Amino acid sequence: MTAEIVSVGTELLLGQIVDTDAVHLAAVLPEYGVVCHRRQTVGDNRERLAEALRLALSRADLVFTIGGLGPTEDDLTREAIADALEEGMEEDPRIAERLLKFFAMRNLPWTESQLRQAQRPASSEPIENPNGTAPGLICRKQAKFVVALPGPKGEFVPMVEGPVRKLLASLQTNQVIRSRILKTCGIGESWVEERVRQWMQADNPTVAPYAHPGEVHLRVSARAKDDEEAERLLKPVEAALRAELGEAVYGVDDDTLEGVLIRELCHRGEKLAVAESCTGGGLGERLTRVPGCSGTFLGGIISYSNEVKARQLGVSGKTLREHGAVSEPCAREMAEGARRSLAADWGVSITGIAGPDGGLEHKPVGQVIIGVAGPKGTAVSEHRFRGSREQIRLRSVQWALIELRNALGK
């Protein structure tokens, strides 16, 4: 069974809002074995919307619309569905009555335009919307469905989680699609691709890599008749990929790199401190996203100036004079200084040139040095990152986590 999602709204086309509703729905469909091949986004225009729906109906069994169900003139989804299905509109007295009650109970001023929401294509059934005024709609035409859902998140999500899931379950596709995400760090996408090519050519499960800054995620998806069979298909491929990628795999699914590291440090009963220059606290921010990080993370020093590097972290005047703040000796002393002054087991430092100015020939923008001081000594690594100031800062934080992971031998 195939689906297509049609998101409606000029706001979406103008880039004023992000289509989070479609993302939510797209993640639900595979659970019921429904394959979404395409998504469309259309503005608030009746003709273009009807055209998009006709196209969607010509190639998918299930068409979902998102938005444009409200009471105003630019809410045209109902009419466009009727156009596409070549049927008329009817006023639904049950919806009209519900609307009147809704307004009376909340003492809201009534306008006749509200009744637009009681209009629906002749073949449709309303889906109750306890969180707003506009009901959703289910239209059945031969073997095809059009399901119209309201845009506001507070209405959309409950409608998907309730009635839409019920509808999907009733379709009995006898199929589920289950995915596992294997997360790797510290290796490039092409390296991963090279290693996993043979599985990428397979058809069930399918394997596809996605690149993120400093990470490559592999999505492994299996089509099966139920969860158990899907698991049986996923397991050996996951094991083979893990064997191929080895240490690079740090986690699966909802795992995050910072989360895995915090878990490991808590498990070991070891404490962590940071010393940050060019990232200005970004590493601390990332670590403190993890609930329970207080079990290991003590804090850090944002040593942006040389004075703070010297005074708070004990970086020597000689190092700063002879090598400068962006240097291996400085990163080393910063990491050791954080470890010592915060009485931690591990100290991680970042110092670099985030740009856009301040680069030199031998120290260009993007040069970042990361230090990791631990119980068995200190490791320092030099990096050259590309991109904007923000990208360089982001990558610096990411690689500090990767270097910490390397030092932990995890």
Q: Is 215 in the site for Mg ion (CB under 5 A)?
A: no
Stretch near ligand ATP under the rule CB under 6 A, chosen from 18-26, 90-98, 173-181, 296-304:
18-26
Q: What are the structure tokens assigned to 98, written together?
A: 């519900």
Query: Shortest approach of Mg ion to residue 69 CB, angstroms?
Result: 7
Shorter beta-carbon distance to ligand ATP: residue 136 or 347: 136
Among 70, 132, 135, 150, indicate the residue that binds Mg ion (CB under 5 A): 70
Query: Shortest approach of ligand ATP to residue 84 CB, angstroms?
Result: 18
Q: Is 20 in the site for ligand ATP (CB under 6 A)?
A: yes
For 368, other C-beta atoms within 10 Å of its C-beta total 27
* Separation of alpha carbons 61 and 274, rounded Å: 54
Q: Is 33 in the site for ligand ATP (CB under 6 A)?
A: no
**255-258-260-261 Cα dihedral, nearest 10 degrees:** 170
**Site track for ligand ATP across 65-84, x = CB under 6 A:** -xxxxx----x---------
Stretch near Mg ion under the rule CB under 5 A, chosen from 27-35, 38-46, 75-83, 258-266:
75-83
Check if the beta carbon of residue 364 is closer than 8 Å to that of residue 353: yes
What radius of gyration do the chain's Cα atoms show? 28
Q: Residues near 178 by Cβ (< 8 Å), separated by ≥ 6?
A: 30, 221, 222, 224, 227, 230, 231, 234
Check if the beta carbon of residue 222 is closer than 8 Å to that of residue 212: no
Q: Is 126 in the site for ligand ATP (CB under 6 A)?
A: no
At 158, the amino acid letter reads P
Q: Is 4 in the site for ligand ATP (CB under 6 A)?
A: no
Q: What are the structure tokens assigned to 64, written together?
A: 């979902």
Stretch near Mg ion under the rule CB under 5 A, chosen from 72-80, 138-146, 247-255, 329-337:
72-80
* Separation of alpha carbons 380 and 382, rounded Å: 7
Interface residues with ligand ATP (CB under 6 A)? 7-9, 11, 17, 19-22, 66-70, 75, 134, 150-153
Interface residues with Mg ion (CB under 5 A)? 70, 75
